[in-house]
Amino acid sequence: MKKIKDYKSVLRQSWQLRRDKRFPEAELVLHEALADYSDGGFEHNLLKANLADVLLRQGNRAAARKLALEVLEKQPSQVTALMVLGLAALEEKVTAEAVENLAKAYRLAPSPYRAGRLARALELDGRIEQALAVLQEALQENPGDSYLRQQYGTLKEKAAAAAASDPAATESPRAAEAAEEDFLAYAAQMKEKLKGLEPAEAAAQLQKIIKVGRRKANPHLHLLLGDLRRKAGDETGAAAAYAQAWELDPENLLALSQLLFSYRRLGRKEEAWPLLKRLLYHRPGDKTAKASLIRDALDLGKEEEAVLFFEELLQRYPHHKEFYGAIRKLKAKEA
């Protein structure tokens, strides 16, 4: 009787072969393993998506795209398949398609690599501000990533050079307003200016700056204010600033994360609870958020609600097997 290969071992082997540039061997390993799993199942989709990735790395975009689309027809949130479609479109300079698929993949499973590819697609699509925003968010989560830092620095230099080469940028009042609307770049500039000050003094100065003109609508400035207040020991003030940042930009997961953990530090776990669920729904791999939700469920007597939530997450993200452990732990406490 034929022994079925463990798909996790197959994936590890295929990734090692990919790292060694031994793509034909990786393709063969994945092809052989596919026969062991039923078409359309989680394992089959995962192996097929990785096979599409191997084909793309060998320059076979048509075959890679075909496999990725087959996977996504059965599992629309399959991250590797989305990345294959996005990267194939990026290679062909079809930037709108690249942005669409890479953005979906990044939202489902944020990582430095996915952030870098999405930012590149946005740059090629002429959306420099959004590209910088993606990179800055990724750097806040991964401050030591040298690749992201280099990409961010290079893109900022390009943006500055483009602005300097356009005389209208310094002569037109409308251009001045547009520059102020470049919220992310302006916030980064303010952070640099304030870095030599004590946190409390920097927060006080920034509070005055935020009140002027369009700056009050800049979520990145409010995030910065929250960080400075927290460093100064003003957790209540930090929570208020993070809340304002999130209100201005409800899709900003960094603002959401900062707000909910500020609430938890203040002991406001009831207010943090729905925010924790929202963060995990969009970022299922966040281990800190998962552990916090389990602890808070036990503290607040919300074990049953948490179990139902983790079961919902498993339906949406079946590859996150760690949620089974969370469910077992919560059910044990219920009993």
Other beta carbons within 10 Å of 19: 9
Specify the CATH number for the domain of residue 61: 1.25.40.10
Rounded to the nearest 5°, which phi and psi values hold at 257?
-65, -45
Q: ∠ at Cα 56 (52, 59), nearest 5°?
A: 145
In this structure, are residues 18 and 26 in contact, taking their beta carbons and an 8 Å threshold? yes
Q: ∠ at Cα 219 (130, 239), nearest 5°?
A: 140
**Dihedral (C-alpha) 57, 60, 63, 69: value to the nearest 10 degrees?**
50
Residue 60 has pLDDT above 80, yes or no: yes
Residue 2 has pLDDT above 60, yes or no: no
pLDDT, position 4: 56
> pLDDT by residue (tens digit) across 88-124?
999 988 888 899 899 989 888 888 999 999 999 999 9
Helices (H), 125-234: 128-141, 146-164, 168-171, 173-181, 183-194, 199-210, 219-231
> pLDDT by residue (tens digit) across 188-217?
888 888 988 999 999 999 999 898 777 888
> pLDDT by residue (tens digit) across 298-325?
999 999 999 999 998 888 888 888 999 9
pLDDT, position 181: 46
pLDDT, position 120: 93
pLDDT, position 335: 61
* Structural domain harbouring 16: 1-142
The three-state secondary structure class of 120 is helix
pLDDT, position 334: 66
Number of domains comprising the chain = 1
Residue 169 has pLDDT above 80, yes or no: no
Q: Tell me whether residue 238 is in a domain.
A: no
b/e 249-282 (16+ beta carbons within 10 angstroms → b):
beebbbbbbbbbbbbbeeeebebbbebbbbbbee
Residue 224 has pLDDT above 70, yes or no: yes
Q: Tell me whether residue 251 is in a domain.
A: no
156 CB burial (10 A radius; 0-12, 13-18, 19+) = middle
Q: Tell me whether residue 114 is in a domain.
A: yes
**Confidence tier at 81 by pLDDT (50, 70, 90):** very high
Q: Tell me whether residue 95 is in a domain.
A: yes
**Confidence tier at 14 by pLDDT (50, 70, 90):** very high
CA distances to 4, 33, 177, 185 from 9, rounded to whole Å, are 11, 10, 55, 44
Q: Tell me whether residue 202 is in a domain.
A: no
Q: Tell me whether residue 227 is in a domain.
A: no
Identify the weakest region by mean pLDDT among 9-18, 143-152, 161-170, 300-309.
161-170
Q: Tell me whether residue 121 is in a domain.
A: yes
What share of the chain in percent tops pLDDT 70? Answer: 93
CA distances to 14, 60, 115, 224 from 63, rounded to whole Å, are 18, 6, 25, 46
Residue 174 has pLDDT above 60, yes or no: no
Interatomic CA distance for residues 283 and 299, integer angstroms: 23
Sign of the CA dihedral running 265, 242, 109, 159: negative
Q: Tell me whether residue 288 is in a domain.
A: no
